[in-house]
Amino acid sequence: MREIKKIVIAGAGTMGASMGAIFARYGYEVVLYDIFPTALEKARNLITLNQKTEVSEGIVTQAESDALLGRIQYTGEMEAFRTADFVVEAVLENLEVKHKFWAEASALVDDDVVMASNTSGLSITKIAEAVRLPQRFGGMHWINPPHIIPLIEVIQGEKTSDEAAGVIRDLALKVNKKPVIVKDAPGFALNRIQLAILRECLHIVSEGISTYEGVDDVMKYGLGLRYACLGPFEVCDLGGLDIFYNIASYLYADLCDRKDPCAILTERFEKGEFGVKTGKGFYDYSGGKAEEKIEYRDQMFTKLAKCLYE
């Protein structure tokens, strides 16, 4: 596989933009591709906003930030993929859309170029059905906000070669991430855990056991602090497997096990209340509160990451 100098990212949404900023921080030449000019402009603004936070938090100097911004190009032309040394896709989470993109993109890139999808749950094996030379294709699942969260899931589909998975893993390490190789299962590892937690949180609110604010506080001031430092198996070992076995023996029967989205989530989805991106979700983000929330999140995540990982 070739040396990676230029990385082309397909999809200039929140994830694609932030990935581009990280690669650029570590000296890679980055091209952000999107078919929508408005998406490219939003990406430019988001990267600038994130850089503002990183400069204010002392992560980078103003000069380093300016150099980073200069290493990122924006385009709506597919020809950009012809010069790629590595391609990562972050387009709409729809198999048909991804198939259409990869059928075209994989035909343009050179044969020794490794390609990856940032899908958060679609099958890498199924996406690869549209990829030319699928043995060089795998998953590279970044976690939002990707410019702060260290984890990257490296997913091996049925045809992903060990060499290609190794290239994706090594690239993640070079940009100071924590890669974990997982098999191609629905939701991979992180989203299986995350959605299991969300299902129970929604159930707790639906049953009147607590409120949205109450559940969020339980996570922020209890479980969040615990799991920021220790994984669930480490927590069990430190707490005592006998304790967790006894709790599991009576509590599992009462936990939510529904197979469809909870009504309070479905309700908001059907109303188009998607959270920060629309100005309303479980909470209200009108009147400039959306940008304030993003800045607050990034500042808090950055402070926590400094404490834990530096």
Q: Where are the domains of the chain?
A: 6-183, 190-309
DSSP character string of 46-75? HHHHHHHHHHHTTSS-HHHHHHHHHTEEEE
Which of the four pLDDT bands, split at 50, 70 and 90, describes residue 194?
A: very high
pLDDT of residue 253: 97
Backbone angles phi, psi at 259, to 5 degrees: -105, 0
CB contact at 8 A, 110 and 2? yes
- Do the domains spanning 6-183 and 190-309 agree at the CATH topology level? no
Cα 33 to the center of its chain, rounded Å: 18
Supply the pLDDT for residue 242. Answer: 97
Distance CA 302, CA 307 (A): 9
> Range with the lowest mean pLDDT among 22-31, 220-229, 299-308?
299-308
**Is residue 131 helix, strand or coil?**
coil
pLDDT at 90 over 80: yes
Q: How many Å is the Cα radius of gyration of the chain?
A: 21
pLDDT digits (tens, 9 = 90+) for 34-80: 999 999 999 999 898 888 888 988 888 999 999 999 999 999 999 99
| Pair 165, 179: CB distance under 8 Å | no
Whole-angstrom CA distances from 161 to 4, 89, 114, 133 are 18, 18, 10, 10
Over pLDDT 90: what percentage of the chain? 86
Task: Name the CATH superfamily housing domain 6-183.
Answer: NAD(P)-binding Rossmann-like Domain (3.40.50.720)
CATH fold of 190-309: N-(1-d-carboxylethyl)-l-norvaline Dehydrogenase; domain 2 (1.10.1040)
CB-based burial, 165-196: b 16+ in 10 Å, e otherwise: bebbbebbeebebebbbbebeeebbbbeeeee
CB 260 within 8 A of CB 203: no
